[in-house]
């Protein structure tokens, strides 16, 4: 076993934290327990603190902040400006515009900001139709903001679409906060005057971040995750089973998980990532160091993330001598027959994508000559990442 070792608790999930912040904003003095200093949570906290008409909100590069917050401020009569990076506004946002139009709210999109203006929700039809083709965040944002309505809300879609795991996480969360959601075959129904009943909520560890450390440990040592949320709402909890199937060392205790390097090569894997697309960059890179080919598929929405994660991950692996076949929904990864550490150095641009930085760290750990550009991008979700690697 190599020298890396982590033993502790990963900071709180940004996905759950931002969802809980929206729900708590409709309640009375709801206390959220959990620690997260990542950019996405910091920006959502700041926005919720200044809710009201006439405010500008900084969403940075965070899709969840922009989409959830746009629906939150649309409940408040007036004019609201949400700003962010040009990259953020180049991602698909038209579905948000379509939802707000159906609710009688005007949304104007620009290259680096949007303007939300209206008199609160005034549905134009008996039900709101939502596309789930490109992202689950639009339908999640709608449900997270369906509190204290003067009318019942019916949400409907044609197809389940992508990231259903994150949608189911949203449904379970609002139920925990007290919403009586009725699920139908192609939608949900929310009764009028649903009130937040919860007074305290514990935000569990971020399992997407945990996977970045777990994958590093599978190649370089061991990681023990204390207070592991085995019954988590987060789709990325599947990473433990993924690593187990690849042949990494996995040991479960009552409230912890230990991931460790076994001293034998990892095995290639075939995994459908539709429900857990955030695993892709790190998992694909881990597969590059396995003893056989892998196929990761089921996630066409990867091209709409902070970067085109399929193309950018391929760009990371090719200098290693790895053959990659880009698919419309993922990638096939074929490591070289004889993998040798070292090799020619190369620069890698993380392209403002935190998960690409996590993936590049795996390459660096195998003594490859890589210069990771903009490593600070991890601050978006896991600012402690580099410190944990160097101090473990």
Mapped onto helix, strand or coil, the DSSP state of residue 108 is strand
Tens digit of pLDDT for each residue in 246-286?
999 999 999 999 999 998 899 999 999 988 999 999 999 99
Tens digit of pLDDT for each residue in 308-321?
899 999 999 999 99
Say yes or no: do domains 14-202 and 204-391 share a fold: yes
Q: Looking at per-residue confidence, does 344 or 5 come out higher?
A: 5
Annotated domain spans of the chain: 14-202, 204-391
Tens digit of pLDDT for each residue in 340-381?
555 668 999 998 899 999 999 999 998 778 999 999 999 999
Mutual angle of helices 239-246 and 280-287, in 10-degree steps: 10
CATH of domain 204-391: 3.65.10.10
**What's the pLDDT at 384?**
96
pTM of the model: 0.90
CATH superfamily of domain region 14-202: Enolpyruvate transferase domain (3.65.10.10)
Mutual angle of helices 309-317 and 354-365, in 10-degree steps: 20
| Residue 166 Cα distances to 15, 34, 125, 331, angstroms | 9, 20, 27, 22
Tell me how far apart the alpha carbons of residues 284 and 324 are, in angstroms, rounded to a whole number: 10
- DSSP annotation of 60: T
Paired with 155 in beta bridges are 128, 188
**What's the pLDDT at 1?**
47
């Amino acid at each position: 076993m190599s020298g890396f070792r982590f033993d502790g608790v990963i900071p709180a999930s940004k996905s759950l934290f931002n969802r809980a912040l929206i729900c708590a904003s409709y309640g009375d003095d709801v206390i959220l327990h959990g620690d997260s200093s990542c950019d996405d949570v910091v920006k959502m906290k700041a926005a919720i603190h200044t809710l009201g008409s006439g405010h500008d909100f900084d969403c940075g590069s965070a899709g969840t902040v922009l989409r959830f917050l746009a629906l939150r401020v649309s409940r408040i009569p007036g004019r609201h400006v949400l700003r962010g990076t040009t990259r953020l506004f180049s991602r698909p946002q038209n579905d948000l515009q379509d939802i707000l139009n159906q609710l009688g709210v005007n949304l104007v999109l620009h290259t680096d900001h949007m303007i939300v203006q209206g008199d609160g929700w005034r549905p134009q039809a008996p039900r709101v139709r939502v596309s789930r083709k490109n992202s689950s965040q639009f339908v999640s944002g709608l449900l997270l903001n369906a509190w204290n309505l003067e009318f019942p809300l019916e949400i409907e879609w044609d197809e389940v679409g992508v990231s259903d795991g994150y949608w189911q996480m949203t449904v379970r969360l609002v139920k925990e906060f007290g919403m009586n959601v009725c699920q139908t075959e192609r939608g949900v129904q929310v009764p009028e005057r649903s009130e937040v009943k919860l007074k305290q909520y514990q935000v569990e560890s971020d399992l997407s971040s945990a996977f970045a450390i777990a994958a590093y440990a599978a190649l370089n040592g061991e990681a023990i995750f204390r207070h592991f949320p085995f019954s988590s709402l987060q789709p990325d909890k599947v990473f433990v089973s993924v690593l187990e199937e690849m042949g990494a060392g996995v040991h479960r205790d009552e409230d912890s998980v230990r991931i460790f390097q076994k001293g034998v090569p990892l095995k290639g894997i075939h995994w459908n990532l539709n429900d857990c697309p955030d695993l892709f960059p790190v998992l694909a890179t881990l597969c590059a160091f396995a003893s056989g080919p892998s196929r990761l598929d089921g996630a066409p929405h990867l091209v709409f993330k902070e970067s085109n994660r399929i193309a950018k991950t391929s760009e990371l692996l090719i200098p290693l001598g790895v053959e990659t076949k880009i698919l419309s929904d993922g990638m096939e990864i074929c490591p070289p027959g004889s993998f040798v550490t070292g090799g020619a150095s190369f620069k890698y641009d993380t392209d403002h994508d935190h998960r690409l930085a996590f993936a590049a760290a795996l390459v660096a750990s195998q003594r490859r000559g890589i210069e990771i550009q903009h490593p600070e991008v991890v601050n978006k979700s896991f600012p402690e990442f580099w410190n944990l690697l160097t101090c473990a």
